[in-house]
Amino acid sequence: MAIALAIASGKGGVGKTTVSVNLALALAQAGKRVVLLDADFGMANSHVLLGINPKLNIANYLDGSALVSDLIIEAPYNLKFIAGGTAVNDILNTQEKDRYKVIRGMQDLSNETDILVVDCAAGGADSTLDFVSASDQVLIVLEGEPTSMMDAYSLIKILNQEKGVKKFSIFINKASSELEAKQNFEVFSKNLVHKFLDARAYYAGFLPMSKVLKQAVIMKKPVMIHNRKSKEGIAFQKLAGVILKAPRNDKKGICFFE
Ligand SMILES: Nc1ncnc2c1ncn2[C@@H]1O[C@H](COP(=O)(O)OP(=O)(O)O)[C@@H](O)[C@H]1O
Ligand SMILES: [Mg+2]
């Protein structure tokens, strides 16, 4: 059965797209049938990391000029990629009906998909709230500094209180060590999520600050394609293993997959 994993964060620039692209590739390398949807509409840039120049994107589906099947771009390891469009396409602020149309469009892929990875817009954008609540799992990416933690907590609080999302996998990016990442997770889960909300946070792993990742973006060559055996590549493979076993949310309302 197909499942959906939303990748979200409190603030921008913390590594959602880096994690989405490389995790999607790691899951594909593990033999899963993966679709990566760039749902950071209007500010989409997953295609840049993948080194792809999409001719069509979600805006073409929303304006009725393309079907979802027309949007699918074949990426390495059988990964299927759907581009999100840029502000030029005038889809920065989607309407509710557009977001539901996107969710329904993905439903059509359920028979040929094991995992849909959704790279969401930063913060509590309406699209992010809808796409997370339409997903089976959510991975929150954060950096272990106070502003990133507070913004991530604010997002979790909105998702929990407005959408009833209860289980959150947490990935700590740009940590200086595994010990620091785990300490940051402990503080975040104990002092915020578990203290104030009827929600659970689960540690999903960490990445160090990395020149290899920075370089991968500049070269448009994802680590999971060109440098799989690096420590960053191994971290994404580990994350893929964690995600395959991570707790899932009970879904209400409109979902990517029933
Ligand atoms: N672990 C890391 N080490 C170094 N640079 C990173 C790391 N993770 C992400 N980056 C860089 O940070 C910037 C923002 O990352 P990105 O994935 O685009 O974030 P987001 O999608 O959350 O806005 C990019 O330039 C990316 O290369
Ligand atoms: Mg991004």
User: Tell me, what DSSP letter sits at residue 52?
Assistant: -
Question: Measured in angstroms, how far is the CA atom of residue 65 from the centroid of ligand 1?
Answer: 33
User: Tell me, what DSSP letter sits at residue 86?
Assistant: B
* For the CA of 208, the nearest atom of ligand 1: 1
Nearest in space to 232 (alpha carbons), one of 25, 13, 58, 38: 25
Where do we find the tokens 């209400």? 252
Tokens of 226: 């060109």
What span, in angstroms and rounded, lies between the C-alpha atoms of 110 and 42? 25
Set out the domains of the chain in order of their start, with CATH numbers. 7-245 (3.40.50.300)
Q: In what order do the strands lie in the sheet with 3-8?
A: 73-74, 80-82, 34-39, 115-120, 3-8, 137-143, 167-175, 200-208
Q: What is the DSSP string of 105-170?
A: HHHTTGGG-SEEEEEEPSTT-HHHHHHHHTSSEEEEEEESSHHHHHHHHHHHHHHHHHH---EEEE
What pLDDT does 87 receive?
64
What pLDDT does 85 receive?
85
Q: Which residues of the chain have pLDDT under 50?
A: none
What pLDDT does 258 receive?
83
Nearest in space to 53 (alpha carbons), one of 62, 61, 44: 44
Q: Measure CA 10 to chain center.
A: 12
Residues with CB under 5 A from ligand 2 (ion): 16-17
Which ligand is in closest contact with the Cα of 13? 1
Question: Measured in angstroms, how far is the CA atom of residue 14 from the centroid of ligand 1?
Answer: 6
Evaluate if pTM is beyond 0.95: yes
Question: Measured in angstroms, how far is the CA atom of residue 196 from the centroid of ligand 2?
Answer: 28
* For the CA of 21, the nearest atom of ligand 1: 17
Which of 214, 220, 230, 231 is the pocket-test mutation for ligand 1 (most atoms within 8 Å of CB)?
A: 214
Which of 14, 18, 173, 232 is the pocket-test mutation for ligand 1 (most atoms within 8 Å of CB)?
A: 18
Residue nearest to atom 25 of ligand 1 (CA): 214
What pLDDT does 90 receive?
60
Burial class (CB in 10 A: 0-12, 13-18, 19+), 48: middle
Residue nearest to atom 17 of ligand 1 (CA): 15
pLDDT (tens digit per residue) in 149-161 = 999 999 999 999 9
What pLDDT does 252 receive?
80
**Contact by Cβ (8 Å): 126, 110:** no
Residue nearest to atom 15 of ligand 1 (CA): 15
**Contact by Cβ (8 Å): 62, 98:** yes
Tokens of 31: 């033999």
What pLDDT does 239 receive?
98
Q: Which amino acid is at 13?
A: G
Name residues contacting ligand 1 (CB within 6 A).
Answer: 9, 12-18, 173-174, 207, 209-210, 213-214, 217
What span, in angstroms and rounded, lies between the C-alpha atoms of 204 and 206? 7
What pLDDT does 251 receive?
82
